[in-house]
Amino acid sequence: MIKLRRVLVATGILLLLPLPLGVFGTTERNLQKRSHEESSRNNPEETPAVPQTQTAPSESAPGVPAEAVGPPTPPEVVPGNPTPSVEPSPPLKRRRPRRPRTLQETHDDLVRKMAALEPRGTYILIDTGSNRLYLMRGRCILRAAICSTGSGRFLPDPPRNREWTFDTPKGEFRIQHKYVNPVWIKPDWAFIEEGEPPPRNFEDRVAPEELGDYALDLGDGYLIHGTLYERALGLSVTHGCVRLGAKDLEAIFQSVRVGTPVYIF
């Protein structure tokens, strides 16, 4: 077809032949393509180079092939032991400066705290400084009585390397026992104080009338009891116990029970 076209063009007959339109279009495109290929073969430098994509070599540890290096594997999760989640710490709250309390507010606060410490119900209050005993219910005084408390005297016993101090103990106690017609068993110091040797026979220590008709046991050998010497009431003359007159002792004995608090100061 190309040779025929060249002959026809050379002879001038091309204009006289009625050829289909598709032949000219196809022939023209083929000529342009062939011309372009011939030009490329004659001038290879002008042929545009096709860019080649290069893959960057992956980095791997020394001695480890590149194929063995892959993305990091996630840690294994053991069933029943979920991975602990880190909770964000709460934001810090700014504290507002406290308003200083007034003198009245401080006073009211102290009154409330003291009221919470006050004993409830019935209790006994003993003032060793003034030798007074009070039967109390709350802040109400039910009965006030004159008593005798410890003398504070010191008694040594050098032959046996012993000594005693006759003080009434201070603090909070509770009535542990209640006795009717108590019997006093004299300890050694009762005889040493009189300059007598302690007896060996138990019967020589028994004194059934010296404690009066009633006694309230505070523990550790300390009692609230009666006395044969009521004229000494109000004085600090005892060996540590608290002495009361017969009428006051009976009234207080009937008003308290085992477990009643006793406060001595």
Domain spans of the chain, in order of start: 1-32, 118-264
pLDDT of residue 235: 97
Tens digit of each residue's pLDDT (9 = 90 or more) over 201-236: 999 999 998 999 999 999 999 999 999 999 999 999
Average pLDDT, the chain: 79
Q: Which tokens is 218 given?
A: 């505070």
Report CA-CA distances (Å) from 16 to 8, 9, 13, 221: 9, 10, 5, 156
pLDDT of residue 95: 77
Tens digit of each residue's pLDDT (9 = 90 or more) over 164-204: 999 999 999 999 999 999 999 999 999 999 999 999 999 99
pLDDT of residue 115: 85
Q: What is the DSSP letter of 216?
A: E
pLDDT of residue 22: 45
Name 174's Cβ contacts closer than 8 Å, sequence gap at least 6.
218, 219, 259, 260, 261, 262
Q: What is the mean pLDDT of residues 86-94?
A: 73
Q: Which CATH class is domain 118-264?
A: mainly beta
pLDDT of residue 50: 44
